[in-house]
Amino acid sequence: MDRSLTDSWTLGGVPIPNRVVLAPLAGIGNWFVRLQAKRHGAGLAVSEMVSSFAVHYRNERTCRELLRIHPDEHPVSVQLFGHDPDVMASAAERVAAAGADLIDINMGCPVPKVCKTGAGAALLEDPARAVALARAAARGSGLPVTVKLRSGQRPGDLDGITTARRLAEDGGVAGLCVHPRHAAQRHKGQPNYELVRELVDELPVPVLVSGGLYTPESARRAFAQTGAAGVLLARGSLGNPWLFEQLLGRRDGEPGRAEILGELDWVIDRAVEHLGAERATRYLRKFYPWYVERLGGGRALQAALQRAPTLAAARALLHEAGVPAPMAA
């Protein structure tokens, strides 16, 4: 059967218009980054990971900033991390009240600070807890719950595959996203898409694929090779929302300078709306390098932007750099 990334589908009963998804990106995937992905065609966007403890204890900044959902970004999934099922249930209830359509649980984060609490990738070795967390999130929220996980902790270890099976059988999950690199690899190395293919064939729920999807070609290849229900764009989407359009057949070429600058202007405006000008000035420093690279800006511009004391100064630097080069005679 011919499958296409433009096909609509449902995930736990939630209609999703296509199969191209924005992956969760810690410190990045806030409401406006998700909205940007949506503007460029993403069928679903997943939030950056949010601490279930912070939500449960009503941490003010977490609830105000990380649970903020824009009316135009639906369907949206909020990703929670944590290790305690009761806390997960309480946080999930709050996430549902904030307006999420789905909840995703992080079982792939390799960062020691997260794993040492028993959350993130540590859950790959504790399938009973993984199942309890998924059930708790569904109980607390009444929403469909998915889990994003890795293939295992260390090279050769397939704990993640076993846990995925348990989650599909006993955890009541609506779907799974598999990043088939082991946690010790962090984000390096070639993902093992064959492992995803096996789970797609075996499990009764939709399985999505993440990892190594930086270009339209690599994402289409992984979609075909794995038979996955959808693809999650992560690093490939940083400063490159046009990748969504390319994958959905809505654009062929790369954006020109004016388009890149226009997009970055939009990002700057939204960051101010989100955090106020002062915090946005610092926050945007991680966003500039992606766009400047596309603009062909060099090290001097990158460094100047990191030092720009105000957003007006940053915009001036960008627009100077963005003036199209004179045509060669």
Ligand X SMILES: Cc1cc2nc3c(=O)[nH]c(=O)nc-3n(C[C@H](O)[C@H](O)[C@H](O)COP(=O)(O)O)c2cc1C
Residue 312: CB minimum distance to ligand X, A: 28
Smaller CB separation from ligand X, 210 or 322: 210
- Residue numbers 198-217 binding ligand X by CB under 6 A: 210-213
115 is catalytic: no
Structure tokens at 312: 């007006």
Distance CA 190, CA 208 (A): 17
Residue 231: CB minimum distance to ligand X, A: 9
Smaller CB separation from ligand X, 75 or 287: 287
The answer to whether 230 contacts ligand X (rule: CB under 6 A) is: no
The answer to whether 280 contacts ligand X (rule: CB under 6 A) is: no
According to CB under 6 A, which one of 34, 148, 270, 294 is a site residue for ligand X?
Answer: 148
Helix (H, G, I), strand (E, B) or coil at 229: coil
DSSP string, 13-51: TEEESSSEEEPP-TTT--HHHHHHHHHTT-SEEEEEEEE
Smaller CB separation from ligand X, 234 or 317: 234
Helix (H, G, I), strand (E, B) or coil at 75: coil
The answer to whether 176 contacts ligand X (rule: CB under 6 A) is: no
Stretch near ligand X under the rule CB under 6 A, chosen from 17-25, 272-280, 282-290, 312-320:
17-25
Residue 4: CB minimum distance to ligand X, A: 20
Residue 289: CB minimum distance to ligand X, A: 13
Distance CA 103, CA 89 (A): 11
The rounded radius of gyration (Å) of the Cα atoms in the chain is: 20
Site string (232-261) toward ligand X, x via CB under 6 A = --xxx-------------------------
The answer to whether 106 contacts ligand X (rule: CB under 6 A) is: yes
Residue 107: CB minimum distance to ligand X, A: 8
Beta carbons of 283 and 271 less than 8 angstroms apart: yes
Smaller CB separation from ligand X, 81 or 131: 81
> Residue written as tokens 């690093």?
235
Within 10 angstroms of residue 140's Cβ, the number of other Cβ atoms is 25
Within 10 angstroms of residue 75's Cβ, the number of other Cβ atoms is 18
> Residue written as tokens 């059930």?
135
User: Which residues are CB-neighbours of 208 under 8 A, at least 6 positions away?
Assistant: 21, 175, 176, 177, 178, 228, 229, 230, 231, 232
Residue 67 identity (one-letter amino acid): L
According to CB under 6 A, which one of 52, 79, 90, 153 is a site residue for ligand X?
Answer: 79
Stretch near ligand X under the rule CB under 6 A, chosen from 129-137, 230-238, 243-251, 285-293:
230-238
Where do contacts with ligand X occur on this chain (CB under 6 A)?
23-26, 48-49, 79, 106, 108-109, 148, 179, 187, 210-213, 234-236
**Which residues are known to be catalytic?**
109
